[in-house]
Amino acid sequence: MNNDTTIIRPEMRLEHCQIRDRQMSPEKKRKLKKALRTLQTLETMAVNIYKFQITNRPSEHNRQLIAAMCNEMTHLQDFQVKLFEYGLKPSKFRFAYWLVGFFLGYFSRLLGKKAVLKTGIWVEKKAVRDYQKLLEGVDWDPQTRRIIEKDRADEKEHIRRWQSLLEN
């Protein structure tokens, strides 16, 4: 898998789904569970931010938001799949991130396009920092590491895109 950020939803085949190592040390399992849950809940928030920023106007800005939402939905699926592959479950409290995403998306939309773009930049910069910390802090299997690196590259591209739209 490469980090081509023009690919919004990478192809996934049946053989990509695996039952992953479940005989790891309790410390490794704890770190892995915490990291995957963090990634999955943050992506839940990101999906909702974009979902509630989209208006019904046919515009380039909305097209970009739709593509970003689709991309974030892919990230959400990436981490939900990884949780189950390792025999783990998503957090029961992920609904809180859904609500935060709703509020950030909806209220930034009410404040206008500039607020939408600034919210996107702020959220994506936080995501890039979190991805980097989690890449460094957990002993990932090679396939999962590649997915996280690709998703982090997507977040960097979102920042670039929103900054470019904000400048224009």
The CATH number linked to 68 is 1.20.1260.10
Residue 149 belongs to a domain: yes
pTM: 0.94
Query: Residue 32 has what pLDDT?
Result: 95
Residue 52 belongs to a domain: yes
Name the token pair of 70: 């689709």
Name the token pair of 95: 């609904």
Query: Residue 75 has what pLDDT?
Result: 98
For the chain, list residues with pLDDT below 70: 1-2
Residue 5 belongs to a domain: no
Residue 32 belongs to a domain: yes
Name the token pair of 33: 């569970």
* E-assigned strand segments in 57-104: none
Residue 47 belongs to a domain: yes
Identify which of 73, 53, 58, 63 has the alpha carbon closest to the alpha carbon of residue 8.
Answer: 73
Question: Given phi > 0 = left and psi -120 to 50 = alpha, else beta, which region is 112?
Answer: left
Query: Residue 2 has what pLDDT?
Result: 66
| Distance from C-alpha of 13 to C-alpha of 40, rounded to nearest angstrom | 21
| Distance from C-alpha of 139 to C-alpha of 148, rounded to nearest angstrom | 12
Show the DSSP H helices in the chain as ranges.
26-53, 60-85, 95-111, 113-137, 142-167
Sign of the alpha-carbon torsion through 112, 43, 135, 130: positive
* Domains contained in the chain, number: 1
Identify which of 90, 77, 74 has the alpha carbon closest to the alpha carbon of residue 37.
Answer: 90
| Distance from C-alpha of 40 to C-alpha of 46, rounded to nearest angstrom | 10
